[in-house]
């Protein structure tokens, strides 16, 4: 309001200027323009230092700027001129609280409340000062006075719950949180708090039900839809999980987690085409994501688009040279495409990360053999046998490579070794018998010709 009772004539130029600056300062303060408001109220207090409203509003502008020590001095100036004004005492309390002088702040709020007992803001402010000072019982009692005047204050119930939490009274804390939800039934913040409290109190069933309420409250919150979808996916409820992920990306088309969650869920249900669309939507948002690139290549392979799958897998492996899953997928696709040259490249990439991969050495030996690289293939099998001397598959593989190279006598030796490691190895046993039978047939004398 404009200062009343100026000790000057209404037509006096000084009075006119004071009124203009006062009105301008109020307008600036109401619009959040604290610097401009401070300039106006500086003029007012310099021109007429005996007007308490000028000092009060100057203090408010200083508080808006975070200059709390100066604000305190200005509130004190207003109080010296008019010590029965509740607003000034409340402002003094707020400045003291901002300076962490909480006990003094409480005293200032007490004075404001003696002057005006129905000031809800002063009760709330006093409660916060008690809370900050560690006076938890006093804080709860003060918040109760504020809530008696206005029970619909979400923030006050919140502060009350905090005080009860500091006292270690979870049952009472829960009651305050329930009141928060009465005021705002769709507060996801309050629902999360309640779920946490129910868990601490061992009320698992109630916590699960509250979590459903949380998700209902957050039906328009993409993050909560994503969270719900992730929880459902962990329980194997893929259809419901996908519905949540789809809702999340409808609400927030750039939600990366929901896109990849949807892609993975669809892939688990072998809905490869839909999964590929979701994976590619995610990769448009995060092109270099290793897991999504691997998933895309795998889905292309599942859809029978092997050339594209191989290209995607090779690019992923090259971009993430230390990522074993990328090389493994690249190798798997090369096997399916029956491309031993590409398989060799993929296996060497995998072995550059882990040289103790027995299966990779074995597969490399096979791939090299199919390309006619017998010496390199034998070296690969030897590496496998260094890791596991009794590996029946590696022993058989070495024998098969020698056999294919026309070195049947040497091959028989390795087939026998494979059978020592695994007497039931059918391929080693069958090929060993064939070679031995061929050898016997070659040594048998010719039959006499009949006349």
Q: Which residues contact 200 (CB under 8 A, 6 or more apart)?
A: 170
Confidence check: pLDDT of 259 > 70: yes
Mean pLDDT confidence for 290-300: 96
Give the pLDDT confidence score for residue 4 in this predicted structure.
46
Q: What percent of the chain has pLDDT over 70?
A: 96
pLDDT score recorded for residue 442: 73
Q: What is the mean pLDDT of the chain?
A: 93
Residue 123 near residue 145 (C-beta atoms within 8 A): yes
- Per the structure block, which two tokens stand in for 422? 């695994």
* Cβ(41)–Cβ(57) below 8 Å: yes
Tokens representing 212 are 């459903």
400 sits in the region (left: phi over 0; alpha: psi -120 to 50; else beta) called: alpha
Q: How many CB atoms lie within 10 A of CB 408?
A: 18
pLDDT for 44 beyond 50: yes
Query: If you average pLDDT over residues 396-421, what whole number do you get?
Result: 94
**Fold (CATH) for 369-436:** 1.25.40
Alpha helix segments (H runs only) across 116-203: 120-133, 136-149, 154-166, 170-183, 188-200
- Of 70, 51, 53, 54, nearest to 62 by C-alpha is 70
* pLDDT-derived band at 279, boundaries 50, 70, 90: very high
Domain ranges in the chain are 369-436
Candidates 401, 396, 361; CA nearest to 381 is: 361
Q: How confident is the model at residue 14 (pLDDT cuts 50, 70, 90)?
A: confident
Residue 12 DSSP class: S
- Taking alpha carbons only, the member of 73, 137, 138 closest to residue 99 is 73
- Residue 362: per-residue pLDDT: 96
Question: pLDDT tens, 134-169?
Answer: 999 999 999 999 999 999 999 999 999 999 999 999
Mean pLDDT for 423-451 is: 80
Average pLDDT rounded to a whole number, residues 50-70: 95
pLDDT at 440: 79
Q: What is the mean pLDDT of residues 242-256?
A: 96
Residue 436 is predicted with a pLDDT of 87
Query: Integer distance in angstroms from the first to the last C-alpha of the chain?
Result: 141
Is the model's pLDDT at 5 over the cut of 50?
no
């Amino acid at each position: 309001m404009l200062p009343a009772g100026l000790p000057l004539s209404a037509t006096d130029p000084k009075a006119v200027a004071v009124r203009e600056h006062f009105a301008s300062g109020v307008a600036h303060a109401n619009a959040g323009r604290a610097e401009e408001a401070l300039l106006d109220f500086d003029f007012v207090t310099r021109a007429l230092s005996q007007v308490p409203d000028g000092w009060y509003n100057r203090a408010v502008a200083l508080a808006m700027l975070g200059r709390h020590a100066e604000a305190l001095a200005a509130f004190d100036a207003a109080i010296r001129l008019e010590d029965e004004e509740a607003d000034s005492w409340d402002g003094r309390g707020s400045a003291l609280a901002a300076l962490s002088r909480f006990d003094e702040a409480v005293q200032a709020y007490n004075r404001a409340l003696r002057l005006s007992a129905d000031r809800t803001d002063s009760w709330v402010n006093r409660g916060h000062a008690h809370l900050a000072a560690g006076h938890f019982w006093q804080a709860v009692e003060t918040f109760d006075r504020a809530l008696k005047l206005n029970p619909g204050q979400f923030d006050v119930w919140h502060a009350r719950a905090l005080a009860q939490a500091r006292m270690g009274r979870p049952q009472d804390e829960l009651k305050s949180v329930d009141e928060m939800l009465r005021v705002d039934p769709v507060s996801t913040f309050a629902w999360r708090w309640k779920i946490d409290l129910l868990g601490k109190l061992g009320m698992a069933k109630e916590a699960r039900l509250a979590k459903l309420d949380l998700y209902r409250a957050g039906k328009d919150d993409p993050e909560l839809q994503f969270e719900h979808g992730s929880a459902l996916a962990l329980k194997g409820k893929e259809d419901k999980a996908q519905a949540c992920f789809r809702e999340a990306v409808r609400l927030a088309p750039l939600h990366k987690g929901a896109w990849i969650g949807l892609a993975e869920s669809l892939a688990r249900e072998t809905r490869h085409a839909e999964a590929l669309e979701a994976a590619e939507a995610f990769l448009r948002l995060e092109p270099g994501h290793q897991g999504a690139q691997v998933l895309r290549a795998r889905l292309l392979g599942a859809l029978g688009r092997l050339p594209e799958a191989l290209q995607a897998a090779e690019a992923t492996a090259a971009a993430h040279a230390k990522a074993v899953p990328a090389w493994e997928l690249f190798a798997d696709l090369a096997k399916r495409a029956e491309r031993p040259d590409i398989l060799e490249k993929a296996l060497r990439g995998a072995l550059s990360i882990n040289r103790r991969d027995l299966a990779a050495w074995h597969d490399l030996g096979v791939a090299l053999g199919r390309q006619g690289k017998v010496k390199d293939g034998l070296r690969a099998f030897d590496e496998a046998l260094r890791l596991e001397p009794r590996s029946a598959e590696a022993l058989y593989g070495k024998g098969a490579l020698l056999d294919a190279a026309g070195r049947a006598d040497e091959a028989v030796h390795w087939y026998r070794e494979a059978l020592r490691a695994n007497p039931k190895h059918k391929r080693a046993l069958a090929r060993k018998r064939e070679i031995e039978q061929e050898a016997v047939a070659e040594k048998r004398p010719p039959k006499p010709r009949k006349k």
